[in-house]
Each structure stands twice: as structure tokens, then as C-alpha cells.
């Protein structure tokens, strides 16, 4: 899969995306991360890309022209990179913005099916609306908070999407680490030593009794989801026994409150 990022700060990607698991995936040619500097497409003699907002207000707005030109260059680059020109289809263009649909694991799965993905990073008060209307296919937010630029959100998307591309994670890790499996939070993990500052690892995990361990972990996942993210339980996939466990848990908590 090929990620293409349109940004004013390509150094941020060069600094972060050649390390660890993503860095190795790039080295192995499983994914690529290509940046295009929007400033390179400024026709201004001072290479300016922003200006004051029409109608007044605080901050600066990125002008449509350099964004549109950078986009044209990029699409051409993607076209030319194809061995089979017939396989070219218009890539999706994600604009990362606080005004987008809030990103989740299902969106990461869907986007990981694309061969090429363009991510557009805004700054200041954003980008002129007209060029967004012309090129953007998906508006995505990584959560309800505001950052100084779209680069960190772009890297969050790339990381979340890339780890779902076959070959990026080891086979065991990809099968095992479905953190949102059945819409539940992951169970707690323990490693050596058996006792840390007087705190024992849960006894069942040392028992070697695989069915009991599985049951314990599922219950921990359910309890944790109920405690921290009850909104996820609406779509959780639970067995009859697990539903009963959850019901008992809820009754127990209510009992604790009123006693």
C-alpha cells in the first residue's frame, strides 16, 4: 500500500515513519510513505501559501492554488508508477480535520483495502473550501480536540491503517492482537516476575488450564469495557454465558453503590 501525504512539514514524516514496525514495513517494501511539500507549488516569489481569511477573523488560510497543483502533480506521479496503466483508479483523498467523521477501527480496515491513499494536512485555520470541494473524498478527525497541524493525525491514520496491511505485523501478532475483537477492550497482560512489590499475577494464568484462562480473559475484557467504554457494549459479541456474567457485574456494581 502506498501512502501519499500533502503537507507543509514533510520533515515530520521523515522523522517518525522510518522507525519501529512502520519503518521496517517501508524497508521491506510492503508499504511506502511519500510526501509532497505543498510549498513547492507556490508561485509566490516568497513561497507563501497562506493569506488572510475573506470576511475577517483570526489566523491564516491556506490558498487553493498550491494545494490543487500539488494534487495534480501527485495524481500524475501515482498514474506513472503503475506497471499497468489500466489499473489506475482515482485514489481516495483524506482531509484530516476536527470537522471530520471520527476515526475508528472499522474505517482503518476499510482504508487498508486501498492501493494508494492521499492524506491532506491542513494548518492555521485550515484550507480554502473550494479546493477541498474539488479534491477531498473523505473528511476524518482522530478525535474531539484541536492540534496545530494535520501531520500528527495523518501519522495516526497511517499507523492504524498500515498495521492492517498483510505482512506489516508478524502473523501471530496480526491474528492475536485484534484489540477490538468482538467490540471489547483488550484484557490485561502480565509477565515475569510472578510477584511484583507484593502484587501477584492472577493465579489462573499460571495454571496452564487453557479453557479457564480464556474464560478469565474474556471476563476481564467484558468488565473493563463495562467500566471504561460502556458505549462499546451495545455492539459487543457475547455468548449466553458472557451476557449472564455482564448482567451479574452490573447488578454487583449497583449493589456496591447502594450498600
Rounded to whole angstroms, the Cα distance separating 23 from 184 reads 29
147 binds ligand 4FD (CB under 6 A): yes
For the record, the C-alpha cell of 226 comes out as: 463495562
Smallest distance from ligand 4FD to CB 45, Å: 26
Work out whether 126 is an interface residue with ligand 4FD (CB under 6 A): yes
The count of other CB atoms within 10 Å of the CB of residue 228 is 10
Residue closer to ligand 4FD (CB basis): 123 or 218: 123
By CB under 6 A, is residue 150 in contact with ligand 4FD? yes
CB 49 within 8 A of CB 66: yes
By beta-carbon proximity to ligand 4FD, the closer residue of 146 and 197 is 146
Q: Which of 16, 69, 149, 224 binds ligand 4FD (CB under 6 A)?
A: 149
In 3D, which of 35, 153, 159 has the Cα closest to residue 99? 153
One symbol per residue from 79 to 118: x for binding ligand 4FD (CB under 6 A), - otherwise; what is it? -----------------xxx--------------------
Which burial class, exposed, middle or buried, applies to 215 when counting CB atoms under 10 A from its CB (0-12, 13-18, 19+)? middle
* Residue 156: CB minimum distance to ligand 4FD, A: 8
The site that binds ligand 4FD (CB under 6 A) totals a number of residues, namely: 15
Which DSSP letter does residue 38 get? G
Q: Which is nearer to ligand 4FD, 10 or 150 (CB)?
A: 150
Q: How far is Cα 75 from Cα 81, in angstroms, rounded to an integer?
A: 10
Segment contacting ligand 4FD (CB under 6 A): 38-46, 50-58, 105-113, 141-149?
141-149
70/37 Cα distance (integer angstroms): 8
- Does 66 interact with ligand 4FD (rule: CB under 6 A)? no
| Interface pick for ligand 4FD out of 2, 37, 105, 141 (rule CB under 6 A) | 141
Residue 12 CA: distances (Å) to CA of 16, 77, 78, 121, 192:
6, 22, 22, 12, 37
Residues that bind ligand 4FD (CB under 6 A): 96-98, 122-123, 126, 141-143, 145-147, 149-150, 153
Amino acid at each position: 500500500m502506498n501512502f501519499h501525504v500533502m503537507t507543509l512539514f514533510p520533515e515530520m514524516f521523515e522523522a517518525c515513519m522510518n522507525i519501529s514496525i512502520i519503518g521496517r514495513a517501508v524497508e521491506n517494501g510492503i508499504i511506502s510513505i511519500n510526501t509532497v511539500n505543498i510549498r513547492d507549488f507556490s508561485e509566490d516569489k516568497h513561497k507563501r501559501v497562506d493569506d488572510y481569511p475573506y470576511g475577517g477573523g483570526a489566523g491564516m488560510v491556506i490558498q487553493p492554488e498550491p494545494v490543487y497543483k500539488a494534487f495534480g502533480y501527485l495524481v500524475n506521479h501515482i498514474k506513472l508508477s503503475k506497471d499497468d496503466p489500466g489499473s489506475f483508479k482515482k485514489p481516495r483523498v483524506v482531509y484530516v480535520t476536527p470537522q471530520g467523521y471520527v476515526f475508528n477501527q472499522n474505517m482503518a480496515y476499510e482504508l487498508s483495502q486501498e492501493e494508494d491513499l492521499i492524506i491532506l494536512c491542513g494548518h492555521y485555520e485550515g484550507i480554502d473550501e473550494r479546493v477541498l470541494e474539488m479534491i477531498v473524498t473523505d473528511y476524518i478527525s482522530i478525535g474531539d480536540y484541536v492540534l496545530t497541524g494535520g501531520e500528527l493525525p495523518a501519522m495516526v491514520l497511517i499507523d492504524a491503517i498500515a498495521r492492517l496491511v498483510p505482512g506489516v505485523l508478524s502473523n501471530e501478532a496480526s491474528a492475536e492482537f485484534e484489540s477490538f475483537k468482538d467490540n471489547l477492550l483488550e484484557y490485561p497482560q502480565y509477565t515475569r516476575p510472578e510477584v511484583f512489590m507484593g502484587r501477584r499475577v492472577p493465579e489462573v494464568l499460571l495454571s496452564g488450564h487453557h479453557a479457564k484462562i480464556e474464560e478469565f480473559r474474556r471476563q476481564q475484557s467484558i468488565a473493563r469495557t463495562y467500566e471504561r467504554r460502556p458505549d462499546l457494549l451495545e455492539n459487543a459479541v457475547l455468548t449466553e454465558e458472557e451476557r449472564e456474567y455482564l448482567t451479574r457485574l452490573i447488578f454487583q456494581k449497583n449493589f456496591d453503590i447502594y450498600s
